[in-house]
Amino acid sequence: MQAIIIKEIVRLYISCVNLNLTEEGSSPIEQKKHREVDRMKAEDVKTIAMIGAGDMGHGIAACFLLGGYRVYLRDIEQRFIDRGVAGIKASFDRFKEKGKISAEAYDAALANLKTTVDLAEAVKEADFVIEAVPENLELKKSVFADLDKLSPPHAILASNTSNISISSIAEATKRPEKVIGYHFFNPAVIMKLVEVIKGQKTSDESIQVAYDLAKKINKVPVIVKKDSPGFIYNRVNEPTLVLLSKILEAGHPTPEEFDAAMKPFMPMAPFELLDFVGIDIAVHGLEYFAKVLSPDYKPSEAIMAYLKAGNLGKKTGKGFYDWSQGRPQIDTSKATKEFDLNHLIALQVNEATKLLEEGVCDDPKEIDLAMANGGGSPFGPFTLAKSIGYPTLVAKLEEIYAKFPLEIFKPTETMKKGNIQV
Ligand SMILES: NC(=O)c1ccc[n+]([C@@H]2O[C@H](COP(=O)([O-])OP(=O)(O)OC[C@H]3O[C@@H](n4cnc5c(N)ncnc54)[C@H](O)[C@@H]3O)[C@@H](O)[C@H]2O)c1
């Protein structure tokens, strides 16, 4: 009898153990939680926390508000939040004027916006957190360490960094599998491209959620498979900046002569665009690439001289052009014969082939999609290369290399083979 009772107790005990514990020792409830976390879907994302209310932060917040999401907008001081909210309202006003959103949608979107300077409050209900604080690794790391501590365990933590390594930012957290790059373009409410960047430890699930989420707010997401400087868009464009910096150093053609040759094909010619964006921003980009990718990117003394003189472009009223009376008028009759549009296309295509060779992206169509949606051109580099012909572009690269013998200007093997299908 006693033996039967003991046997029954053991059986009951074993069944209890089977009910509540798994081989890993966690309860089924905990396991379910983990599975749910693993299988998180874009549909599960209801609340966004936007960290930083500056140019990008408020723009990204506006995108999610228009998509019907609840958004907590956080900055370090109320005045920055107020400026961000004013920016959001200004965008919504423009959309309303153009009939793109109704008065009801306007009110509904604004009602979904919560603001706070308290980080804990901003993230406590967040399913997806996006950081857009200034471009500084140490600052981003300290923000991510706090986000990791304060955000719900299931929340994905995304950075809008333009260049900084996602894997380095993720090191500041205990959830590197949930840290991604989420690179919007300026102005975020208008530009379609979002680069979804995989850090070394980012899980496929996190990438999928971020990708689907971007689609839900009508963006064009492109997955960047390898955490690499400049990701896709900025990387492909950077050699053009090196060329401009070298042309300044050579002293010819002048910025206006160069721009005059390009102006008929683009809304803003390259030097004009540099002035518009800010010569300081361009130099900062070149210095970063020189540090992490190749010394070839080092800004020339000639471009540094503009920086030293405080002539940063539109924002200071003077750069390569005088902006004090508004946008410069470029005289296309002054066009140089030294360079043409195909030189610029060749630089882009060549750099894009490096992304394929390095495994940053494995589909040329995705690179084209990114390039066509991150800037002004309707076509990506590979589509252009197909119509121009690779031998023509290789010849253009050789011409550039003959003038400025830098490794980054040399045509790649993929470029020379010229058989990329798009
Ligand atoms: N401006 C662009 O064209 C552009 C385009 C793509 C990506 N980015 C990237 O987006 C990020 C933000 O750029 P931006 O142009 O919006 O900068 P910004 O200077 O306009 O805004 C940054 C905001 O972050 C706030 N901030 C600083 N520390 C903070 C903290 N600890 N918590 C919360 N907020 C904090 C600042 O007060 C400021 O309002 C950068 O990483 C930048 O490289 C910028």
Residue-wise pLDDT for 95-141, tens only, equals 999 999 999 999 999 999 999 999 999 999 999 999 999 999 999 99
**Statement: residue 26 has pLDDT above 50:** no
Q: What is the pLDDT of residues 311-321, one digit of tens each?
A: 999 999 999 99
Rounded to the nearest 5 percent, the helix, strand and coil shares of the chain are: 55, 10, 35
Residues 6+ apart with CB under 8 A from 406: 242, 246, 296
pLDDT for position 24:
38
Mean pLDDT of the region 27-38: 47
**Which atom of ligand 1 is found nearest the CA of 59?**
16
Q: What is the pLDDT of residues 224-267, one digit of tens each?
A: 999 999 999 999 999 999 999 999 999 999 999 999 999 999 98
Q: How many CB atoms lie within 10 A of CB 243?
A: 22
* Orientation of helix 55-66 relative to helix 103-111, angle to 10°: 120
Residue in 50, 51, 56 to alter for ligand 1 test, most ligand atoms within 8 A of Cβ: 56
Pick from 75, 76, 48: which is nearest to 64 by CA?
A: 48
Half-sphere exposure of 359 (CA within 13 A, CB side): 3
Which has more pLDDT, 60 or 37?
Answer: 60
Q: Which of 91, 112, 162, 203 is catalytic?
A: 162
Pick from 172, 229, 203: which is nearest to 39 by CA?
A: 203
Contact 399, 265 (CB under 8 A): no
pLDDT for position 248:
98
**Statement: residue 27 has pLDDT above 80:** no
Residue 132 alpha carbon to ligand 1 centre in Å: 4
Residues with CB under 6 A from ligand 1: 51-57, 74-76, 80, 132-135, 143, 160-162, 185-186
Q: What is the mean pLDDT of the chain?
A: 91
- Percent of the chain exceeding pLDDT 90 equals 88
Amino acid in position 307 = L
91 is catalytic: no
195 is catalytic: yes
SS3 72: strand
pLDDT for position 38:
55
Give the separation between CA 278 and CA 34, rounded to whole angstroms.
46
Reported as a pLDDT band with limits 50, 70 and 90, residue 377 is confident
Kindly report the pTM of this predicted structure.
Answer: 0.89
* 8-state DSSP, 22: -
Contact 275, 255 (CB under 8 A): no
Sheet strands side by side (includes 220-224): 113-116, 70-74, 47-51, 128-131, 156-159, 179-184, 193-198, 220-224
